């Protein structure tokens, strides 16, 4: 799923068939994974559980006390399993929406709209990739590691965090067969020069045919520059404030550099995954 061209859309059949579902999803679990992040697992059989790596959902967040979120909140898919019909989201409890989401208990339901947007691609000629993420960006990248394993592509995950207690998703990456390198602000290893040295070493070792990143402007720019210098394929998953998630409201635009021309694109519809070379900021 890469293109949204309607040029060759066939006539709509008599029986309507949705490509995106607005699903009433039952909460299976909603637990803290550290002091800031929770993991919510939902029963959402049908279309929702067919989400691909990098796709996202627009999630209804309940009204709790003073928090009255009006819009749904976009969240990248942490896991989707069409066999079990379950989808999961890793989220930082930060504002009115996520505080409401955090209050959901097992057995309650919420509505999730998805799968939405364009996910990650792995070009045929790629044998190894590096994923580089920070914070909730790691949640977006985790399903990519599993997609790579299914395709026989080797993965190195560079996990960036403030300190050891903020490290996310390491087990998830290891379970997907990824080599994991943890870099921290607390010991200076997340310093941009050190991350650059790691990326150059991985490239020299033949472990970096593709670069994938999410969660940090600093890291994105580093990967973008290195990818251009070394001729490496790259993609970035972006965030932007959204309302509809379906390309209708034009709230979530960002500027992209498409062959030297600055072009405005909708993150929800044209992305959220974009060519790394086109990003102008995360």
Partner 1 sequence: MVDLAVDMGRGLVLANPVMPASGTFAEGLAKVVDLNGIGALVTKTITAELRGGNPVPRVSEVANGMLNSIGIPSKGIDHFLDETLPFYRQFSSPLIVSISAPTVDDFARAAERLNVEGVAGIEANISCPNIEEDGKAFAMRPGTTEQAVSAMRKVTELPLWAKLTPNTGDIAAVARAAEAAGADGLVVGNTILAMSVDIETMRPTLGNVMGGLSGPAVKPIMLRMTYQCARAVDIPVIGCGGIASANDAVEYLLAGARAVQVGTATFIKPGTMDEVIAGIAAYCRRKGFNRVVEMIGALNAEMMAPDVMEAAQ
Q: Contact residues for partner 1 (CB under 8 A)?
A: 6-7, 9, 11-12, 16, 18-22, 60, 68-72, 111, 113, 240-241, 243-244, 246-251, 253-254, 264, 269
Kindly tell me which of 68 and 201 has the beta carbon lying closer to partner 1: 68
Beta carbon of residue 7, minimum distance to partner 1 (angstroms, whole number): 8
Tokens 């930082």 correspond to 92
Beta carbon of residue 43, minimum distance to partner 1 (angstroms, whole number): 20
Kindly tell me which of 19 and 105 has the beta carbon lying closer to partner 1: 19
Radius of gyration for the chain, computed over Cα atoms and rounded to the nearest angstrom: 19
Kindly tell me which of 39 and 252 has the beta carbon lying closer to partner 1: 252
Beta carbon of residue 220, minimum distance to partner 1 (angstroms, whole number): 18
Which distant-in-sequence residues (6+ apart) come within 8 Å of 17 by Cβ?
none
Rounded to whole angstroms, how far apart are CA atoms 148 and 259? 28
Return the SS3 of 274: strand
* Nearest one of 126, 125, 124, 140 to 208, comparing CA atoms: 126
Kindly tell me which of 232 and 252 has the beta carbon lying closer to partner 1: 252
* Nearest one of 117, 110, 87, 113 to 22, comparing CA atoms: 113
Beta carbon of residue 266, minimum distance to partner 1 (angstroms, whole number): 9
């Amino acid at each position: 799923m890469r293109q949204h061209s309607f040029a060759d859309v066939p006539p709509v059949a008599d029986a309507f068939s949705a490509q995106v579902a607005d699903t009433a999803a039952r909460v299976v679990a909603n637990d803290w994974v550290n002091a800031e992040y929770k993991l919510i697992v939902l029963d959402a059989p049908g279309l929702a559980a067919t989400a691909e790596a990098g796709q996202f959902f627009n999630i209804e967040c309940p009204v709790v006390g003073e928090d009255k979120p009006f819009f749904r909140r976009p969240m990248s898919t942490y896991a989707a399993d069409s066999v079990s019909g379950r989808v999961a989201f890793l989220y930082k409890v930060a504002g009115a929406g996520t505080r409401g989401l955090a209050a959901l208990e097992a057995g309650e339901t919420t509505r999730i709209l998805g799968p939405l947007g364009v996910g990650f691609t792995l070009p045929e000629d790629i044998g190894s990739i590096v994923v580089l993420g920070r914070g909730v960006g790691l949640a977006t990248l985790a399903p990519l590691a599993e997609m790579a394993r299914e395709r026989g592509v080797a993965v190195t995950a560079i996990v960036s965090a403030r300190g050891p207690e903020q490290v996310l998703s390491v087990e998830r990456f290891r379970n997907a067969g990824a080599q994991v390198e943890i870099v921290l602000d607390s010991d200076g290893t997340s310093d941009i020069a050190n991350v650059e040295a790691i990326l150059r070493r991985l490239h020299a070792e033949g472990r970096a045919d593709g670069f994938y990143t999410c969660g940090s402007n600093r890291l994105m720019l580093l990967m973008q520059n290195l990818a251009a210098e070394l001729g490496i394929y790259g993609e970035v998953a972006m965030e932007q404030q959204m309302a509809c998630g379906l390309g209708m409201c034009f709230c979530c635009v960002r500027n992209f550099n498409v062959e030297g021309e600055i072009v405005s694109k909708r993150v929800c519809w044209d992305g959220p995954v974009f060519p790394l070379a086109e990003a102008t900021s995360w």
